[in-house]
Amino acid sequence: MNSSKSPGLAGFGILKNTTCHTEKKISVFFSIIFMTVGILSNSLAIAILLKAYQRFRQKSKASFLLLASGLVVTDLFGHLINGAIAVFVYASDKDWIRFNQSNILCSVFGICMVFFGLCPLFLGSVMAVERCIGVTKPIFHSTKMTSKHVKMMLTMVCLFAVLIALLPVLRFRAYQIQASRTWCFYKTEHVEDWEDRFYLLLFSCLGLLALAISFLCNAVTGITLLRVKFKSQQRQGRSHHFEMIIQLLAIMCVSCICWSPFLVTMARIGINESRSKETCETILFALRMATWNQILDPWVYILLRKAVLKNLYKITRGCCGVHIINLHMWELSSIKNSLKVAAISDSPVSSKQINLQPLSSMGQ
């Protein structure tokens, strides 16, 4: 234990005087519940995506389905790998000295925590950019945003997240066992070296940047949808506006509420020289909130769709007895109709046709 520079004993110094104690039964209960609910919800989302992809093989939906599939598959593997390691740690009574002599498990755990933390945030921002392009520039989206380009973006996002996760290992900086002895991450105890600060700030800044991009693109998408709704005299795109606005609000709220505490906490630890006594409990609380984001992702992106909203409307209408929205507005292929309206409103050909109609009537 005196050889703290040895790779096999990296991070064990924190096990001596830890001020963060968690009850074993409660912690195991949380880990099993988070793992089970995450696997079930993401598996259900994957099944729904595969069914939707078989039914609607439209080019306009291919990019969204591929990105959504990458998101839920990443969340699924994140729950499987991180959840399995966490349950193993609790089952071993958090005795890292016994099963982590070479620090391999802690390194794998830390790499998975960073990768499965950043990758869903990156994919969420890419999905927000894709939706923004699809709504604001539908012609460009239909001609340039092909499945090949989407697969390349997915590969680049995953490789970038892997690079960030492997950066400490490539720099011979071992991942550290945290004060609760339940997970591994960057060094958060007595951060004094500039490189340790850099990793914490890099993780938090990249995560906050992904959230900011998602917020900005979703805001632009929502404003554009509202403008198209008020400009168009047709009523066919109204259901799509209603569906998309609810999805955008849910995506922004869930992502910001779940991930902001953890990212801000990591940034505060990276900036401040000393930690407060409550930081360990704060990190655990923020980590559990971030885990809930991966659980809620499939429900926000996949299950909160027109069919579910329509059934909720029927139930609400039956309970309250109030007629709010005409159900005839929920037309088939509403996404295609709204994009068509946006394309026609932005197309110069449509304006020429509208201007030529009065001239032709006068000639007659």
pLDDT, tens digit, for every residue of 128-162?
898 888 888 888 888 878 888 888 999 999 999 99
pLDDT reported for residue 69? 87
Report the pLDDT value the prediction gives residue 222, as an integer from 0 to 100.
83
List C-alpha distances in Å: 60 to 9, 20, 51, 138, 348: 53, 50, 17, 9, 22
Does the pLDDT value for residue 258 go beyond 60?
yes
Contact 11, 177 (CB under 8 A): yes
Q: Strands (DSSP E) along the chain, which ranges?
A: 176-177, 184-185
CA-to-CA distance for 166 and 238, rounded, in angstroms? 47
> Residue 237 class from Cβ within 10 Å (0-12 exposed, 13-18 middle, 19+ buried)?
buried
Pick from 7, 17, 10, 154: nearest CA to 72: 154
- Give me the chain's average pLDDT, please: 76
Q: Which of 46, 107, 32, 114 is nearest to 76 (CA)?
A: 46
Per-position DSSP letters for 102-144, written without gaps between them: TSHHHHHHHHHHHHHHHHHHHHHHHHHHHHHHHHH-HHHHHHH
Contacts of 330 by beta carbon, 8 Å cutoff, 6+ apart: 239, 306, 310
The pLDDT of residue 4: 39
Residue 178 and residue 167: Cα distance in Å, rounded?
Answer: 19
Q: What pLDDT digit, counting tens, does each position of 55-71 carry?
A: 655 656 677 778 888 88
Which of 85-89, 156-160, 354-358 holds the top average pLDDT? 156-160
Question: Per residue, what are the HEC states of 292-308?
Answer: HHHHHHHHHHHHCCHHH
Structure tokens at 213: 């991009």
Residues with Cβ within 8 Å of residue 165, at least 6 apart in sequence: 110, 111, 112, 114, 115, 118
Q: What is the pLDDT of residues 268-281, one digit of tens each?
A: 888 885 555 456 78
User: CA torsion sign, 17 to 20 to 21 to 24?
Assistant: negative
Q: What is the pLDDT of residue 62?
A: 72
Spatial distance between the Cα atoms of 20 and 85, rounded to a whole number of angstroms: 20
State the pLDDT at residue 67: 86
Mean pLDDT of the 328-347 span: 46
Q: What is the CATH number of domain 24-320?
A: 1.20.1070.10
Among the listed residues 24, 183, 4, 216, the one whose alpha carbon sits nearest the alpha carbon of residue 106 = 183
pLDDT at 320 over 90: no
Q: How far apart are CA 353 and CA 128, in angstroms?
A: 33
Determine which of 60-74, 272-286, 317-331 has the lowest per-residue pLDDT on average. Answer: 317-331
Tokens of 168: 């400490």
Instruction: Give the residue, 15 or 296, on which the prediction is more confident.
Output: 296
pLDDT given for residue 157 in this prediction: 95
Mean pLDDT of 192-203: 90
User: What pLDDT is stored for residue 362 in this prediction?
Assistant: 47
The crossing angle, in degrees rounded to 10, of helices 279-298 and 104-136 is 50
- Angle among Cα 67, 306, 291 to the nearest 5 degrees reads 50
The pLDDT value recorded for residue 275 is 55
- What are the domain boundaries of the chain? 24-320
pLDDT of residue 233: 53
Answer with the residue of higher pLDDT: 107 or 326: 107
Q: What residues form DSSP beta bridges with 176?
A: 185
From 93-102, 107-116, 352-361, the region with the lowest mean pLDDT: 352-361
Q: Quick one: pLDDT band at residue 16, thresholds 50, 70, 90? A: very low
Model pLDDT, residue 350: 46
Considering 49-53, 91-95, 176-180, 202-206, the range whose residues carry the highest mean pLDDT is 202-206
Give the model's pLDDT for residue 65.
78
Model confidence band, residue 301 (pLDDT cutoffs 50, 70, 90)? low
User: Taking the chain, what is the end-to-end CA distance rounded to the nearest angstrom?
Assistant: 98
Torsion angle of the four alpha carbons 300, 303, 304, 310, in this order, in degrees rounded to the nearest 10: -170
pLDDT higher for 315 or 56?
A: 315
Answer whether residue 236 shows pLDDT above 70: no
Q: How confident is the model at residue 322 (pLDDT cuts 50, 70, 90)?
A: low
